[in-house]
Amino acid sequence: MDFQDQRVLVTGATAGIGREAAKLFADRGAFVIVSGRDPGRGAGTVSAIEAAGGRAQFIAADLRDVASVRQLGDQAGEVDVLINNAAILNAHTTLEQDLESFGVMFDVDVRAPFFLAAAVLPGMIARGSGVIVNISSMAASVGVPQAPVVAATKAAIESFTRSWSAAFGTNGIRVNTVAPGPTLTDGAVAMLGEGAAQLGMATPLGRSARPSEIAEAILFVASPQASYLSGATLAVDGGFTAI
């Protein structure tokens, strides 16, 4: 898989799945724009990429703020591949959900990827090529009593994939979703502790994913090897949604 000299923007690349994807894109020759809020963690991803001989730049953005989303789109310049990965992992039942965090989840997980795509799409259209990969979750496809708002945000982003695929296919732009299952990332382990590993036991493969296993699927979907794939959702969930 060759991303030589492609400019790849990965949101949420300061940790977890996004960090692993950023490193893999750089390994395959891409110039990676690493985004997130935390400059220290951003520098960590960039240093890891540069230590391995790759090229990367950190751009800070707080995706709760739509002005920051648009600024990221401007500062990133030409983007060949956009990975809409950043999201808030937050679990509240319907009876416990407060209004404020409901809004923040929709701001970060739905509004931000929408307006970031809107910022980079004109350049892709002008060049007649581009790739967008939206990261959703197995939660988009099943009932999730512990986190119905997360599930709804992920269903929304899968819907964007279908709409953008239909809207921009004739411009040479492919748009797909990768839907991870339980994955042992910084965020999941911080929130769920041992539960992050236990969740994986409910999958047919009987374990949670390593972040690199999701990142490899993101790379495939973004790659020229997936040149006829558009509007699709690739479940990378150990078989969870097949049962």
Ligand X SMILES: NC(=O)c1ccc[n+]([C@@H]2O[C@H](COP(=O)([O-])OP(=O)(O)OC[C@H]3O[C@@H](n4cnc5c(N)ncnc54)[C@H](OP(=O)(O)O)[C@@H]3O)[C@@H](O)[C@H]2O)c1
Residue 234 touching ligand X (CB under 6 A): no
Q: Establish if 222 lies at the interface with ligand X (CB under 6 A).
A: no
Q: Should residue 18 be labelled a site residue for ligand X when binding is judged by CB under 6 A?
A: yes
d(CA 15, CA 32): 14
> Based on CB atoms, which residue is closest to ligand X, 81 or 188?
188
- Nearest to 83, CA basis, from 152, 168, 19, 155: 19
Rounded Cα distance between 90 and 27, Å, is 32
Our finding on whether 182 is near ligand X (CB under 6 A) is yes
Residue 76 is a binding residue for ligand X (CB under 6 A): no
183 forms part of the interface with ligand X (CB under 6 A): yes
CB neighbour burial string for 13-33, b if at least 16 within 10 angstroms, e if fewer: bbbbbbbbbbbbbbbbebbbb
63, 82, 149, 234: which one contacts ligand X (CB under 6 A)?
63
* Dihedral angle, C-alpha 129, 135, 140, 141, nearest 10 °: 70
Q: Does 135 engage in binding with ligand X (CB under 6 A)?
A: yes
Q: Does 87 bind ligand X (CB under 6 A)?
A: yes
| Identified binder of ligand X from the candidate list 12, 73, 113, 130, rule CB under 6 A | 12
Residue 210 binds to ligand X (criterion: CB under 6 A): no
**Shortest Å, Cβ 226 to ligand X:** 19
Q: Could you say whether residue 233 binds ligand X (CB under 6 A)? A: no
86 binds ligand X (CB under 6 A): yes
Cβ–Cβ < 8 Å for 69, 112: yes
Which residue has its beta carbon closest to ligand X? 187
> For the chain, how many residues are written?
243
Q: Where are the alpha helices (DSSP H) in the chain?
A: 16-27, 39-51, 66-76, 99-106, 112-127, 148-168, 186-192, 195-200, 211-222
Q: Is 45 in the site for ligand X (CB under 6 A)?
A: no
Q: Which residues bind ligand X (CB under 6 A)?
A: 12, 14-18, 36-38, 41, 61-64, 85-89, 108, 135, 137, 180, 182-183, 185-188
